[in-house]
Amino acid sequence: MEQTNIDKYFITVIEAVDVLHKNKFMGQALTIIYSTIDACGLLDAPDSQEKATGSSFKSWVNKYMLEDESLECNADDLWGARCAVLHTHTSTSDLSKANRVREIQYISGPPQHPVVEAFMIASKEIGEGKVVGINVDILVIDFLKAIAKFSNEFSERAKQSEVCQERASKILLHFAL
């Protein structure tokens, strides 16, 4: 079976995140993750919606990423983290400065490792509820699971929806010779 352009997009996203994560390029992996969630949020949005928004981002996160509660954050926190990473490549966003979301601090490593456990506890205590620790490894796993689930669902929807087909046709792809 021949791959569609949207299938190719999802495959390249998975490969890019995997390469960046394996090489410990966490900021770059987060950039791909958060921008892809933006794109997927629009792909999954109601037909009448014409652009990606905070609402479409958060809706997609709630629907596909936060089902198993392995991350100790909510969709608002991830939206704030997305704003921070994409706009300033930091962990601080205007939303976290205004105390509208918790600032996400990142760590990588086995969840049961004493340093990771201490970091997760310290992020809660030090930030007095304004900071949440996230294990990037868990975030990557949850994102990849979400992309796999969404890509299957979207491919089926696109077979029956002209709006989905139109949105999918606009996804940025690189055609190399």
Contact predicate 66/76, CB 8 Å: no
Nearest to 75 by CA among 11, 124, 146, 27: 146
Strands (E), the chain: 103-107, 131-135
Taking only the tens place, the pLDDT of each residue in 12-48 is: 999 999 999 999 999 999 999 999 999 999 999 998 9
Taking only the tens place, the pLDDT of each residue in 59-73 is: 999 999 998 888 999
d(C-alpha 32, C-alpha 55), whole Å: 19
3-state secondary structure of 106: strand
* The model's pTM: 0.92
Contact predicate 5/164, CB 8 Å: no
3-state secondary structure of 134: strand
Question: What are the structural domain ranges in the chain?
Answer: 5-90+138-169
